[in-house]
Amino acid sequence: MRKCFTCLTILLVFPYLSWLHAQEIKPVDSTAKAVDTAVGSSFRFFTNASFITVIGQLSLRATEEAMAEKVNPVVLYDQYFTEFAREHHISPEQVRTLMNSWVQGNMVKEDDANAMLQGARHFYLKQYHTSSLYYEQAVWQQDEARSVPGAIQTEEAEALYPAYILAGNSSIASGDYKRAIRMYRQADSLLLLPAATERTYAAIYKKKNYLYTLLAATLVEAGSQLGGKAGYNLLTEATLVEKTLLANYKTATLVQEWAKTQSQLGTILHLQGDMAADATSDSLYMLSIDAYNDALTVYTQKDFPADWARMQLNLGVVLSKLGAIKEAIASFRSALGILTSAKNPRDWASTAYHLGNMLQCQAGKAKDPEATELFTESIKAYKQALEVYTNKTTPEEWGWTQHNLGVSLFEQGRRLGERDLLTQAAAAFRQALTIQTKDCFPAAWASTQYNLGTALWEESSRAAGGNVALLADAVTAYESALAYYTHKDQPEQWFNVQNGLGLLYEQQKEWAAAIQHFENIRDMEPMYAAQKVNELRRKAGR
């Protein structure tokens, strides 16, 4: 009986933009137009400039948190208003009332000439592209209003810089990474001030470092989404930005920033390795490992345990892609020795998931009793990950964890001859299929359908006298997989399904259907197919 499970997909689940840190944004416009509200005496005379500042801070949070954690914007706004309310000793409802009152006020809506004001207003209304256009217009307005024509002075550049940052943030919120990159580069062009004083240089480099962190993160997001050569080139640009940051952080007072940047560089090189051809991939993965190890010279287990554990997680993922399975397992176990589901749920779940994958791979190469022990550990690791992953909050991660749990349960059940484990495997595959639908994840859907069919088939062989219902369900799952697998595009998977169907129909003595499936694979395995067809014709003629 020829059965073959498809290869497991190893997910890389760690956010990139979570490394960003908020920097205060001061409003370009300081026009004092009071907004009378009834939410408290301290807010009765809030100016437009005050609201621009508040929404500018919200913009930064949206850039740094929403993209990193995939937080729903409504939830993010509520979180921000709650923090703001606590700081100013009012209720979150009062903050929202205040903001809505300002946004809907005629004085604000009709002041179209104030681009900074309109940029903030449209950001609050989640009209992000329009917000970005207004913020860019604010730069032009300030530039035209400069008292001294010609070269931009330090103070004037500092006034123009925030508008470009906010324009870039709004573009990120709208999903327009290309425009965001252009806005950030425009902001950078304003900070090239060779005549600046020593004091100004310090302030400028602080702004530059923050800006470069935003720019690198946006280049990574854009490159990852774009893929291909163009995406790879954007990641290369991101590595250059990170190396500039590393040069800027080479001081004794900025060692944590330097370590963080090394970590970010390691992740970019890792992503490039995923995109590159095989020969180049390994060299990029090795460079990624070097960067993570450099970060570990600062992120020691004693001083920065959580960061140390994250580096172990990242190292483990890269090592797994280099085929260093034992070393990857050691890294994941080290990370789990520090991380907890309560304090570090995302990292803890991701580490448990990846550990489960590597234990499964190692078990596949081992012999009993070691293989059985490794599959047991793999099952345990996946179940730990499922304590955090849910089908609602992290559906894709949950779906893949269910799928890979099903594989380990199947292998363990097959080895031990325990039908209960095979039943659990089929249940896990069915759970995965609630997320891995044909429309959303066609390749994963087909793989899981095939694995479900194989698990059901194996379970039927363990049932007393066989089980017709299980065999019928196995046929249905295999035939579903053929809706995606084709002879041209996925020849190996297509062959396995066709062969499996032939054997299943043979087991059910449906000779004509079995013969047809073996005829389908005649061009790929002519001798094997011919032998099976002749054998089935003899059986059918009895």
Classify residue 419: in a domain, yes or no: no
Residue 3 clears pLDDT 60, i.e. is over it: no
Same domain, 129 and 63: yes
Residue identified by tokens 């470009």 is 164
The answer to which of 161-165, 424-428, 443-447 has the lowest mean pLDDT is: 161-165
What integer pLDDT is reported at residue 146 of this predicted model? Answer: 54
Confidence at 7, pLDDT banded by 50, 70, 90: very low
Residue 381 clears pLDDT 80, i.e. is over it: yes
Q: Give yes or no for a contact between 103 and 35, defined as CB atoms under 8 angstroms apart.
A: no
Give mean pLDDT, residues 93-106.
82
Classify residue 15: in a domain, yes or no: no
Residue 75 clears pLDDT 80, i.e. is over it: no
DSSP character at residue 64: I
Task: Please write the tens of the pLDDT for every residue from 465-513.
Answer: 668 899 999 999 999 999 999 999 999 999 999 999 999 999 999 999 9
Residue 48 clears pLDDT 90, i.e. is over it: no
The answer to which of 25-39, 126-140, 152-166, 245-259 has the lowest mean pLDDT is: 25-39
> Of 298, 324, 352, which residue sits at a domain end?
298
The answer to which of 8-22, 314-328, 507-521 has the lowest mean pLDDT is: 8-22
What integer pLDDT is reported at residue 466 of this predicted model? Answer: 63
Classify residue 248: in a domain, yes or no: yes
Classify residue 138: in a domain, yes or no: yes
Q: Give yes or no for a contact between 2 and 500, defined as CB atoms under 8 angstroms apart.
A: yes
DSSP character at residue 148: S
More confident position, 8 or 497 = 497
The answer to which of 2-16, 182-196, 323-337, 414-428 has the lowest mean pLDDT is: 2-16
Say how many domains are in the chain.
2
The burial class, CB within 10 Å (0-12 / 13-18 / 19+), for 134 is buried
Q: Give yes or no for a contact between 450 and 425, defined as CB atoms under 8 angstroms apart.
A: no
Sequence-distant (6+) residues with CB within 8 A of 478 are 449, 450, 453, 497, 500, 501, 504
Residue 453 clears pLDDT 80, i.e. is over it: yes
CA–CA gap between residue 514 and residue 512 (Å, rounded)? 5
What integer pLDDT is reported at residue 352 of this predicted model? Answer: 97
> Of 267, 282, 298, which residue sits at a domain end?
298
Sequence-distant (6+) residues with CB within 8 A of 531 are none
Q: Tell me the DSSP string of 226-260.
A: H-HHHHHHHHHHHHHHHHHHHHHT-SGGGHHHHHH
Same domain, 200 and 129: no
- Counts for the chain of helices (H) and strands (E), in that order: 24, 0
In the chain, the percentage of residues whose pLDDT exceeds 90 is 58
CA 295 to chain centre: 21
CA–CA gap between residue 254 and residue 260 (Å, rounded)? 10
Confidence at 85, pLDDT banded by 50, 70, 90: confident
Give mean pLDDT, residues 330-341.
96
Distances (CA, A) of 333 to 349, 354, 365, 376, 528: 12, 10, 20, 15, 45
- CA angle 226/15/92 to nearest 5° reads 115
CA–CA gap between residue 420 and residue 422 (Å, rounded)? 5
More confident position, 164 or 383 = 383
What integer pLDDT is reported at residue 201 of this predicted model? Answer: 61
Task: Please write the tens of the pLDDT for every residue from 114-149.
Answer: 888 888 888 888 899 999 999 888 888 776 655 544
CA–CA gap between residue 410 and residue 418 (Å, rounded)? 9
Task: Please write the tens of the pLDDT for every residue from 389-411.
Answer: 999 999 999 999 999 999 999 99
The Cβ of residue 65 has, within 10 Å, a number of other Cβ atoms equal to 20
Same domain, 50 and 188: yes
- CA angle 531/534/539 to nearest 5° reads 125
Residue 457 clears pLDDT 90, i.e. is over it: yes
Classify residue 103: in a domain, yes or no: yes
Q: Tell me the DSSP string of 411-451.
A: HHHHHHT-HHHHHHHHHHHHHHHTTS-TTT-HHHHHHHHHH
Identify the CA nearest to 235 among candidates 262, 210, 272: 272
Same domain, 134 and 98: yes
Task: Please write the tens of the pLDDT for every residue from 240-289.
Answer: 999 999 998 877 778 999 999 999 999 999 999 999 977 789 999 999 99
Same domain, 51 and 188: yes
Residue 12 clears pLDDT 60, i.e. is over it: no
Distances (CA, A) of 330 to 326, 333, 336, 413: 6, 5, 10, 26
The Cβ of residue 428 has, within 10 Å, a number of other Cβ atoms equal to 27
What integer pLDDT is reported at residue 519 of this predicted model? Answer: 96
Residue 13 clears pLDDT 70, i.e. is over it: no
Host domain of residue 162: 46-142+154-192
CA–CA gap between residue 71 and residue 65 (Å, rounded)? 7
Confidence at 198, pLDDT banded by 50, 70, 90: low
Sequence-distant (6+) residues with CB within 8 A of 466 are 460
> Of 298, 332, 359, which residue sits at a domain end?
298
Q: Is 532 helix (H, G, I), strand (E, B) or coil?
A: helix
B/e letters for 105-120, b = 16+ CB within 10 Å, e = fewer, are: beebeebeebbbbbbb
Query: What sign has the CA pseudo-torsion 103, 104, 109, 110?
Result: negative
Same domain, 220 and 165: no
CA–CA gap between residue 493 and residue 1 (Å, rounded)? 16
Identify the CA nearest to 456 among candidates 160, 218, 52, 448: 448
Choose the most confident range, by mean pLDDT, from 2-6, 85-89, 163-167, 278-282: 163-167
Residues for the chain: how many in total? 542
Q: Give yes or no for a contact between 407 and 414, defined as CB atoms under 8 angstroms apart.
A: no
Same domain, 58 and 115: yes
Same domain, 134 and 208: no
Same domain, 228 and 187: no
Same domain, 179 and 208: no
Task: Please write the tens of the pLDDT for every residue from 217-239.
Answer: 999 999 999 999 999 999 999 99
Same domain, 208 and 170: no
Phi and psi dihedrals of 46, rounded to 5?
Answer: -65, 135
Identify the CA nearest to 515 among candidates 491, 539, 493, 532: 532
**Averaged pLDDT score across all residues of the chain:** 84
What integer pLDDT is reported at residue 111 of this predicted model? Answer: 78
Sequence-distant (6+) residues with CB within 8 A of 340 are 348
DSSP character at residue 8: P
The pair of structure tokens assigned to 41 is 């005496």
Classify residue 63: in a domain, yes or no: yes
Query: What sign has the CA pseudo-torsion 273, 277, 282, 284?
Result: negative
Classify residue 98: in a domain, yes or no: yes
What integer pLDDT is reported at residue 35 of this predicted model? Answer: 43
Classify residue 318: in a domain, yes or no: no
The CATH number of the domain where 86 resides is what? Answer: 1.25.40
Same domain, 206 and 178: no
